[in-house]
Structure formats: structure tokens, C-alpha cells
Structure 1
Amino acid sequence: MKKTAIILGATGLTGGILLEKLIANDRYLSIKLFSRSKIEGLPNKVTQFIGNLLNLEQFNAVFTADEVYCCIGTTKAKTPDKDHYKEIDYGIPVTAAKLSKENNIETFLVVSALGANLNSSVFYNKTKGEMERDVQKQNIRNTFILRPSLIGGERNERRTLEKIGLTIFKVIQPLFKGKLEQYKITEPNNIAQAMINLANSTSHAEVIITSTEIKRITKN
């Protein structure tokens, strides 16, 4: 049976790669995008719903699919206000999970981050940890939370500090062995492919997918 997928965050790096993969994947008859801005030049199998994702409930009637892929995320540089940051990184994924539960969507995948911990004193890690907790509270049958390390790849916007960090990591990461393996850069292509593989797997029981697991699942 052909499937329908929802993507949140298709205008971002990982979400964009995921969109390309789902378009090329014959399993998917329909792809629904929910975003603030339109993407031009997409095929007929893609339907776009444009609006404020902070008010995701407005799309309740059309928020129907077999799978939801949530690739929403911001940065401190882009969103310095902590309240607004939390509305995005916590609010949108949790609302999407609630809508998925209400509309009987049985597969929900969300990109979190290495270090997510609801008891952390670090705001970013705490926010991600709280998001993970409240997504899991929805008890969606197939829930997968991916925790990549620093995400690689080229971005359209200028993010100087992140680019410097990626350059340094690329130099030193061959030294990361054993437990340090999880801190190696996670490529966005691997995240996207791992999400698709998980959504179409009948044997993966883990809910939390670590950065090292992402790389392994990509090869399945």
C-alpha cells in the first residue's frame, strides 16, 4: 500500500534532504509539507500547507498521514529569546505529536540532539529533553527520537561559529574512539535516510536513536 508522509521543517538542511528522498521513494504516493514558506518546483505528489507553525493546530483537519517526520529546530543565534526558542524547539514537535495521536498516525519521528536531558542545567539540552519526554507521553505506536551530534553539511544561511566548529571537528574526530565515537559529526543525509529506514522497519524496538545508531541504521 502506498503511503502518505508529513514533513515539518522541509525548508531546513535535513528536512530538505528528507523531502528529496521521499519524492524519489516509490513507497510514498503523497507528501504533505507544513511550513512558513513555499518551496517552488515540487512534483504533484507534494502538497504544501503554508502558515505559522506555532499555531499548528490550525491544520488539524489536514494533518493526516501514515508517518510524521519532524525536522524542526532553531539556533541560539537565530532565536536569542529563550521563550521564542522554546516555542519552536519544544512547542512545534510536541504539538505535532499530539495532532498525530489525535488523528491516529502510528509513526512519529523527530530530530532531537545529543545531550538532550530534561534535568540538564543547560537550557538547550533541557528543552530538547522536555520535548522528548512530552512526545513520548503521546504513546504513538512507532515513536523514534533521533539524537545526532553536531550536524554537518552546507547551509544556505551564514553561520560562522558553527562553520568553524565543524571545521575543527573534522580535523579532530579521527581521534574519537570508543565512547567518544558518538561525538563524531552526523551528516544530514544519514539522519534523513535513517528516519526513512526506521519508518519502514518492522524490527527496530528502540525509541531513542543515538548518533552512532543513526550511522548504522543508514546502512540497513
Structure 2
Amino acid sequence: MKAIVIGATGATGKYLVQELIHDHQFEEVTVFVRRTSFAPHPQLKEVVVDFNQLEKYKASVSTDVAFSCLGTTLKDAGSKQAQWKVDYEYQYEFAKLCAAQNIKTFVLLSAVGASPTSSLFYSRMKGELEVAIQPFNFEKLLIFRPASLKRPQSNRLGEKVMTALVGGLNAVGLFKNYHVIHVNDLAKALINGAKKYDKGTHFIEVKTILKLFHEI
């Protein structure tokens, strides 16, 4: 199989790329990045792109599986409009391009609580994206909805506090629907899901994500 990834330099994306290039079932892994970011590897094809003009790179979108893991925080983006551009517009255009290039399997990294009717901007944005890409009729569409993510060497204080709090509650059997997941385990689950699921649209919640990475 061949795979393509956007969001490859993010917390989950970095692990996803490493897992893919060491997976014997994937002979080639293409990553769309803003700047050169990875060490050379015989299975890795790094394509520096302008995400505002993805159509220009359609020749590189010739794979079996696409992983869309692009995202930013409101703080890093600087505004809701800027965050929407990265989290919604770029991923929507990528999905549209993948559908046009007849990629069979599309894997979207969304978030727990995603809903187009949510009163929360982030959850509504994620939910609207989920709805928007479904008419592209991928043979297999996997929408992952993790909750708390454990990112190594994170410098986000709020994230560290929340992860520690939820992790403590998980340890005593509480908040299982918001179970803390290490980004490396999430990456494994994304790959395993792409391999194991049958045709159709699948929403993969926290409990199923936990089972998937244990099955690697």
C-alpha cells in the first residue's frame, strides 16, 4: 500500500509517519509539509506545498490511504479565522483533492464532542468538517474522535494539567469517554483502523481507539 499524510509535523503526525515507514505493508509514504522537516528515508516522499494551492500538487496524490491530521490551537493560530483556515479549509480541500484522485480510504483525525450544532467553536468546526467531507463518497471513511492527548515534551501548561487530571480520574475508573491517549498510541490506532475497517463511514470514539492500538 501507499499512504499520504497532512499534519505530518504535528504531535500525532510525527509518530504516524514513523509508524508508517516502519510498517512492511506500506511501500511508500508521501507527506505534504510547509517546509523540509524529515530526515531522508527510502520509503518517504516529502513534498513541500502551499496549502492555499493544494490543487497544484495533485500529481503527488496517488496513494491508497490518506491521513488528515492537520490542526492548530487558537492560541497558535492567533484568531478563530486563522484556526478555521488550518483545521477546516485546508483539510476540506485535501479531502476534496483525494476524492478527485480516487483515493479509496480517507482517515480524518477529528475530536471528541465534534458536532456541527455545538455551541463551542472548536467542536462545531470539527463537526462541520466531518459533515462536509462525507459527500465525497470515499470507499472507506474513518473519523477518529480522541479526547485528551498526551504529547511528549508539550509546553502547554493547561494541557499538562488537564491530562494529569483526566489521567488520575481514568486510574480510578472515571471519565472513560475522555481517556488520555498517548499520540504514539493514537498513530498506531489510525493505521490499524485503516487496515481493519470494512467499506463505509465509521466514527471511531475513544473506547474503540484504545482497542485499536492494542491490536497492533
Please confirm whether the aligned pair reaches a TM-score higher than 0.5, indicating the same fold: yes
Secondary structure in 1 matching 2:12: helix
The percent of aligned pairs where both chains have the same amino acid is 28
- 1:35, 1:155 → 2: CA distance? 22
Structure 2 counterpart of 1:116, one-letter code: A
Q: CA deviation at 1:118?
A: 0.3
Match of 1:170 in 2: 167
Q: CA deviation at 1:11?
A: 0.7
Kept in 2, the 8 Å contact 1:152–1:166? The answer is yes
Kept in 2, the 8 Å contact 1:54–1:87? The answer is no
Match of 1:47 in 2: 45
Of the three residues 212, 215, 219, the one matched with 2:210 is: 215
Match of 1:147 in 2: 145
Structure 2 counterpart of 1:48, one-letter code: E
Kept in 1, the 8 Å contact 2:145–2:205? The answer is yes
**Structure 1: runs of 5+ lacking an equivalent:** none
Structure 1 counterpart of 2:143, one-letter code: I
Shift in CA distance, 202/209, structure 1 to aligned 2, threshold 3 Å? closer
- 1:82, 1:93 → 2: CA distance? 16
Match of 2:191 in 1: 196
Match of 1:133 in 2: 131
Kept in 1, the 8 Å contact 2:140–2:198? The answer is no
CA RMSD, Structure 1 to Structure 2 (Å): 1.6
Of the three residues 107, 115, 118, the one matched with 1:117 is: 115
Structure 2 counterpart of 1:196, one-letter code: I
Match of 1:38 in 2: 36
Corresponding pairs, count: 215
Secondary structure in 1 matching 2:77: coil
- 1:24, 1:203 → 2: CA distance? 24
Structure 2 counterpart of 1:173, one-letter code: N
The answer on 1:159 being equivalent to 2:123 is no
Secondary structure in 2 matching 1:119: coil
Structure 1 counterpart of 2:35, one-letter code: S
**Structure 2: runs of 5+ lacking an equivalent:** none
- 1:135, 1:121 → 2: CA distance? 21
Match of 1:64 in 2: 62
Match of 1:101 in 2: 99
Q: CA deviation at 1:215?
A: 0.5
Kept in 1, the 8 Å contact 2:16–2:187? The answer is yes
Q: CA deviation at 1:174?
A: 2.1
Shift in CA distance, 55/163, structure 1 to aligned 2, threshold 3 Å? farther
For normalisation by structure 2, the TM-score amounts to 0.93
- 1:155, 1:133 → 2: CA distance? 33
Q: CA deviation at 1:108?
A: 0.3
Shift in CA distance, 175/76, structure 1 to aligned 2, threshold 3 Å? farther
- 1:40, 1:186 → 2: CA distance? 24
Q: Which moved more, 1:180-189 or 1:204-213?
A: 204-213
For normalisation by structure 1, the TM-score amounts to 0.91
Structure 2 counterpart of 1:165, one-letter code: M
Kept in 2, the 8 Å contact 1:70–1:110? The answer is yes
Q: CA deviation at 1:204?
A: 7.3
